[in-house]
Amino acid sequence: MTLHQMLELLDGQPAIEKVGIVMEGNPAVVVKHVPTGLVTQIPICMLEKIDEQTMLAILTGEREPQALRFMSRIVGYMSHLDAWNASKIGELRDRHKGNYSVPGGEHSS
Residue among 67, 66, 52, 45 nearest 6 (CA): 52
Give percent of the chain with pLDDT exceeding 70. 69
Full-model pTM: 0.53
Average pLDDT over residues 94-104: 60
pLDDT at 48 over 50: yes
Give the Cα separation of 39 and 19 in Å (integer): 9
pLDDT band at 104 (very low <50, low <70, confident <90, very high): low
Same domain? For 50 and 18 the reply is yes
The whole-number pLDDT of residue 20 equals 85
Domain count, the chain: 2
Say whether both 7 and 47 belong to one domain.
Answer: yes
Q: Are residues 46 and 76 in the same domain?
A: no
